[in-house]
Amino acid sequence: MLAVVLAVFAVFAASRLLKYYRAQKDLGYLPGLRSLVTPMSPLGFALPPSQYNPGRDWQWRLRESVYRDAGTETISAIPYVFGPPCIYTSSPEVAKQVVSTKGQFFKAYDTTLITLLWGPNIFAANGEEWRKHRRIINPAFSNATFASVWEQTSRVFDEMEVGEGWAGKRAVDLPVVNGLTNKLALILISTCGFGNPLKWQFTNSASGGMSFEKALSIVSSNHIALLLIPDWMYRLPNKWIRELKTAVDRMNLFMRELIEKRRAEMAQKAPERTDILSAMIKSSESEGKFSMDDSELVGNTFLLLSAGHDTVAHTLDAAFALLALHQDFQEEVYQELLEVMPTEADFTYENSARLVKTRACFLEASRMFPSGFMLIRDTAEDVVLQNVGPNNDDVLPLKRGTRVVVDMIGLHHNPRIFPDPEAFKPERWYNAHENDMSMFSFGARACIGRKFAVAEGICFLAKLLRRWRVEPLAKEGETKEQWKQRVVRGVVVLNLGIGEVPVRLVRRDC
């Protein structure tokens, strides 16, 4: 029996060794990560980091060392035992080739599965299908939409001040600011995405059972559970699982009813709405036989919910922490606001284009903590990857089916592109063009909702900093540097965020 076990082990070890050396050859002997499992594998993602497993947050933890130690901006990750070998790059030149729409690279089904829970969408699509989605969705992101985002963000901020009891107070302690930004982003997605306005003090129950507000909140905070829980588990007598199932059913019903309602309004020539779903339906109807079906409309709307919600909330969390640490820059933003928007009447979307420093603050927070921290592609054919090697001037032939990952954390902490990358330097973005916002990807496949996110972020920060000064909320005896070490750290789940951010708001005399 022992001999059989040893023989099986020997065969397994030999096969793993052969696979390892073959992967090294296929990936051009690029240096990089070597471990028992790769972080791209389910096992590597689930297990904590160790000497055997880089862990799901290795791109954050090793951002200052992994490419430097390898001597190249493009590295390989090859397992000794489990997981697919792949390439990671922090080079913008390589990234642009990988995410281009020329057909050399595509998004594999397993990398987009979580976005397909509600239906086909632009994020998961490739080729002509992607072009169809883009063509229909694009008109939904207009200046009218962004002006509505600005107006609604301003409204929700005012409601938040009242609802959270800030009115009349000279100072407010917020032990965890993340909950407020999460709720704000949720309300804005519902209002400007679905055309279903929510108040800050929304309810959790309705006459027909679970309210839309509660269902939306549950669904938006349980993406991983929705992906992992099989259908049969929803029949178990577990309160949390039953509540999740109720929320999913409620959202599906609401979305399909809402689509029919919007179509009926359009047929009756009702006043035009500015929310994204209504604009998508209108654009889709004009496509005739190439229009989106209901599942595609729902899929794209929920994609906007998850991607837009996470991006804005996480970036604002980071901005709170960074502003608390940089009082000098915070004062510069305040002076800019006094100049551009001295009164409430001046607080308009049209004037927001002049808020150079406010915008730069949001973009720099997004650079330091890019929410979508990986862009994953597989080669659709044999490809020659350009701009690799120690001097970014070599080429690397790749076989069809090779996985290449654009490491957005590594790219945005690449000292060649962003000198002194660990420093908060909003001035990097003072003269930045929209195409320079690499945090939202590159080229034609850049995030279609980036202007939505930026408008929401700028408006929130402008309202906040016009009225309040943000300071660290430190523990007893804790220095500012100790607060920074405790708070300013990346947290990886499905996206990159920041840990819990405790701040104190001090009202400005204005």
Q: What is the pLDDT of residues 8-47, one digit of tens each?
A: 778 777 888 889 899 999 999 999 999 999 988 888 888 8
Kindly report the three-state secondary structure assignment for every residue of 266-299: HHCCCCCCCCHHHHHHHHHHCCHHHCCCHHHHHH
Lookup: tokens for 157: 């901020």
Lookup: tokens for 316: 């604002």
Spatial separation of the C-alpha atoms in residues 338 and 405, rounded to whole Å: 43
Sorted by where each begins, the domain ranges of the chain are 130-376+407-507
Q: What is the pLDDT of residues 317-362, one digit of tens each?
A: 999 999 999 999 999 999 999 999 999 999 999 999 999 999 999 9
Q: Which of 121-130, 291-300, 478-487 reaches the highest mean pLDDT?
A: 478-487
Spatial separation of the C-alpha atoms in residues 264 and 283, rounded to whole Å: 15
Among 429, 431, 451, residue whose Cα is nearest residue 440: 451
Burial class (CB in 10 A: 0-12, 13-18, 19+), 149: buried
Lookup: tokens for 158: 């005012």
Lookup: tokens for 192: 């400007």
3-state SS assignment for residue 510 = coil
Is 459 assigned to a binding site? no
Least confident of 97-111, 278-292, 364-378, 474-488: 278-292
CATH architecture of 130-376+407-507: Orthogonal Bundle (1.10)
Spatial separation of the C-alpha atoms in residues 166 and 253, rounded to whole Å: 37
Lookup: tokens for 488: 């300013």
Average pLDDT over residues 234-248: 88
Q: What is the pLDDT of residues 130-174, one digit of tens each?
A: 999 999 999 989 999 999 999 999 999 999 999 999 988 999 999
Using 50, 70 and 90 to split pLDDT, how confident is the model at 510? low
Q: Which of 112-121, 243-252, 440-449, 467-476 reaches the highest mean pLDDT?
A: 467-476
